[in-house]
A and B are shown apart, each in its own frame.
Chain A
Amino acid sequence: MPWEVLEFSDFFKFNWKDSIWNLTVVLGAIIGGFIAVQFLSNDRITDLNPATISELTALGFGNSGETLVPNELFNLEAITSIKGLAILIIGGLLVGFGTRYAGGCTSGHAITGLSSLQGPSLIAVIGFFLGGLLMTNFILPLLF
């Protein structure tokens, strides 16, 4: 049986009560995002490098910088297409899996890890950048 083959690791043994503070920070982050756009926004367009805008236009991304995320990836039309849905799911899987495998994300490794001068975090950040450079420079142009 698959569930016997996939032996549950100690990864799943944790106490929910000890993690309430984590979830509270996450809830705060959602509220923070809401406050920022509802009350602290001046509708300023993201001041991107003109070279970035023309590259993205050539790839098929219009109105670059007018929103925080491209409509071409996140609007209803995108998420109801197979390609668009696949991109969000694959992206989410990569970030979720990668964060746990590397033992941290941009906050945990790049910011707090490097701030506390830890070698493993430097390796992880090098990994973040290798992956990011690969995606933006070589894979993204193939997808669009």
Chain B
Amino acid sequence: MKYLKFLLVGIVFGIVLVKSEAVSWYRIYEMFRFQSFHMYGIIGTAIATGILFLQISKRSKIKSIKGADIFVPKKEKGFTRYIIGGLIFGLGWALIGVCPGPMYILLGTGVYSMLIVIAAALVGTFIYGLLKNKLPH
């Protein structure tokens, strides 16, 4: 039962991303061709909502269900890892039209060939783990 809330968050996340068409390969293509506002609208709205919620919770000292402060952990300082890692991510994102969340959501919608993508992504993660100490960050 402790994990029920996480399960519910995942379910809502999955439904919203399917119904907003954010898991559509075609919407990603359209975004990178600047032919529609659709994806920019989704991402922009999500960021605006996030800013609003984080600012309100900070100012009115809203606590999490565990009574702790609500904050997003600080990212490490750096440049190389973000720009190069981001570039690599973007190449894959536009090729297969999925980022990590939608891989699993689409699997749930019945796109079983996504299992190949998930396996390859796990291998990609593993390769990063092997090379981590040798890569510039």
Contacts and interface: CB of A to CB of B under 8 A. Distances in A.
A11 interface: yes
A20 B120 CA distance: 21
4 closest A-B pairs by CB: A28-B10, A127-B86, A32-B14, A131-B90
Contact of A102 (B89, B108, B130): B89
Interface residues of A, number: 92
B99 A95 contact: yes
B29 A28 contact: no
Interface string A17-48: 00011001111111111111100100000101
B9 interface: yes
A114 B75 CA distance: 11
A125 B84 CA distance: 11
Contacts, number: 389
A123 B72 contact: no
B31 to A, nearest CB: 8
B32 to A, nearest CB: 4
Interface in B74-110: 74-79, 81-101, 103-110
A40 B7 contact: no
A93 B120 contact: yes
Given A48-B36, A101-B81, 11 more contacts: A32-B105, A40-B15, A48-B35, A65-B26, A91-B96, A97-B125, A98-B87, A103-B81, A113-B72, A131-B89, A132-B90
